[in-house]
Structure 1
Amino acid sequence: MQISPSLLSADFANLEAELKRIANADWAHVDVMDAHFVPNLTLGLPVVEALLRVSPVPIDAHLMIDDPDRWAPGYAEAGCQSVTFHIEAARDPRTLARTLRAAGARAAMALKPGTAFAPYEDLLPELDMVLVMTVEPGFGGQSFMTDQLPKVREVRDAVKRHGGEIWVQVDGGVSGPTIEQCAEAGADVFVAGSAVYGAEDAAAAVEELRALVRGHHH
């Protein structure tokens, strides 16, 4: 059960300090948005490279961008330990996942709320993680979409069938009230933005979330 605080809710003017606030987390979740795939523009590879130099925890790069086939490998090569591309944007996800793994990163596929998982189940052997978005990607601070929990369950069941060490990540509106539902549905990596960075003590917020999911093991 891993906690990956999202820098989308952090102070962009003080990212090194904000990373240090979550030194007890498992990952730092970095949202890369290109204003094309999603209606927002956040940060890109130069900033991620700078974060990699100062982050006390490994970086979980979530690429909400067009043409990940072209751009995602650079994030793996830079040293991101996990790189997530959106299945809706990838032209050749199998090759892309293999390229990410060859570059030393965990390869992950993300699904928007409106995207079904079943058509992509055959990609599981190429993947290390599946991200089920529990909000429409683009902006932080949105409300959790309970209707995505069956998809989390579906992914977890498929992972059990296929075997292998594949993590199931949830991202969007994950907080104290919703994180246990996610764990019960089969998630084991939890992205939390405002629930962590909106707290006075971000490290304590990470521990609180971790305590809430500790009892749910699959």
Structure 2
Amino acid sequence: MPGVRGKRMPRAVRERQMMDAAVRTFGQRGYRAASMDEIAELAGVSKPLVYLYLNSKEELFTACIRREAAALVAAVRAGVDGAEGEPCLSADGQLWAGLTAFFTHTAEHPDGWAVLHQQARTHGEPFAAEVAAMRDELVAFVTGLIGVAARDARQDPAFTDRDLSGLAHALVGAAESLADWANQNPGVTAKEAAGMLMNFAWTGLGGLMEGRRWSR
């Protein structure tokens, strides 16, 4: 709901109000179609005020990408960190916690996810680079989780850093695609999406942790 024009409030609150309006508009309308006028209207402020806080549409979109990316990464980390407090949490339990947090966040913030996964990636630099940085952080985090699982399973040295990185990239890519699918299919819960990916991925990862590899 648009705010009340002219009401004085702290700068941080006003910025958040404008960013919320921008994420909603960019997520639903797309970067090209979205206008600063409708963002200002939705935020309940004047367009000159939007330009005062953020100098251009490009800068506003970049700020939206950074905010939504940071929130998503923080949600995944918090999900795993919170689950680590559970007794005897297994490696697949950590992965389940991270995936559930990921799908919960993308479901609860569909406009933010659209900004990250649909809009930012299709409009070139510098937007794509911002999303790539977020993805790199997620991949690094998942690489660490898989690495811990491999060490706990006492894998031999043949399980290399390149193996870990490749598996993490594959898992993050699958999660991104599944988040799109889940958001386009009402009724799919975060736990259902996480369960689908665990069934698809962990059966194979679990075998790798035990030293079983597919061969032709």
Question: Taking structure 1 as the reference length, what is the TM-score of the superposition?
Answer: 0.23
Structure showing the higher helix proportion among its residues = 2
Larger radius of gyration: 2
* TM-score, normalisation: structure 2: 0.23
